[in-house]
Structure 1
Amino acid sequence: MDTQSRLALAADKLECVELVAKMARAIDRRDAALLASLFHPDATDDHGLFSGTATEFVAWVMPLLATMKQTHHVIGQSLIAVDGDRAVGESYFIAHHTLAGPDGDLFMVAAGRYLDTFERREGVWKVLRRHAVYDWNRTGASTDNFDRADPGPMAFGRADREDLSYA
């Protein structure tokens, strides 16, 4: 493979990896518009508890996220295989969730992989199919002890467009 072809392949893979990262950002910042923009109009999503169109997924997941105090998705290694205008990927994730429990906050961690199919249309890569595969999880009492009422010099993340990352 010549240098130009290798560079084009690397750029295609990077665009797909960036889509995975933007998905995590959209979920953690509760940014429905960003999340919807990452899928093709005919895309599908299967998260186990939900399976349907990407449009339906966005409508389902945003109210679910509103029940959570915090979420934080970490994307690990991503393996992307490109074949012309289509690519498939496997991206490892660890998703942290703070949930209100009857006796105090709970901290749930889920780990797994996103199996994605990407497609380039009119020069733009987007997600065509996403399937979340879960490997393990753990739930326990939350031990978060930050003083959010009086943060002093610390900045805390927000689950909306007021987060500092949008500045």
Structure 2
Amino acid sequence: MSDGALAALIDKARLTDLVAEYANLLDWIDWQRLDTVFWPDATFDFGMFKGDFAAYRAFVAELEEGYARRLHMFGLPSIWLTGDTARIDATCAIVCRTDAPSPGIDDTFWGRYLLTAQRRSGEWRLSTLTYVLNLFDRVDRQADDRDMPMTFGDHLGPDHPLAAASAA
């Protein structure tokens, strides 16, 4: 394997880690970790929201903290490298639960994240994010499932007892 091919594999592994880190921090609403995923001058387009990193921080916190449960599942990203720039296309399924009205509502989103990443001073971070929605579904819960003998992902956050596992 050539040095160039090995370097490309290492870059793609780091970029895949960035996508996974983004999904993980959304589920755990650990907003401080956003700074390690996005460049400060990153731009965002969700359709209903377009803006810079500072505005995105407020938008995403309000949106995600309104859910009792969040699960962002990303498919393996397709990554195209061009020097110090990468284009990333990652499919996703997102399931979010609200508690009100009781026993709750589950919203499911199927779509993809179109991302651009840049390597600056040897470090990769995301520089643009565009979300493309393919399908949305809303289900009014008929019963509260928390009576089951399971550990549920309710109210995950940096102070949650299981949060240390998310940063491992």
Normalized against structure 1, the TM-score is what?
Answer: 0.88
2:157 touches 2:163 (CA, 8 Å); kept in 1?
A: no
Report the more deviating stretch, 58-67 or 70-79.
58-67
Equivalence for 2:146: 146
Equivalence for 1:83: 82
C-alpha separation in 2, matches of 1:66 and 1:41 = 22
Structure 1 residue ranges without an equivalent (≥5):
none
Please report the RMSD computed on the Cα atoms of aligned residues, expressed in angstroms: 1.8
Equivalence for 1:166: 164
| Matched-pair identity in % | 30
Structure 2 residue ranges without an equivalent (≥5):
none
Q: 1:73 deviation in Å? A: 0.4
DSSP-derived class of the 2:146 partner: coil
Report the more deviating stretch, 94-103 or 41-50.
94-103
C-alpha separation in 2, matches of 1:105 and 1:131 = 29
C-alpha separation in 2, matches of 1:61 and 1:163 = 23
CA deviation vs aligned residue, 1:119-154 (integer Å, no higher than 9, x gap): 000111000000000111111123551337xx5xx5
Equivalence for 1:3: 2
Equivalence for 2:104: 105
Q: 1:163 deviation in Å? A: 4.8
DSSP-derived class of the 1:146 partner: helix
Normalized against structure 2, the TM-score is what?
Answer: 0.88
When the two structures are aligned, how many residues end up with a matched partner?
A: 162
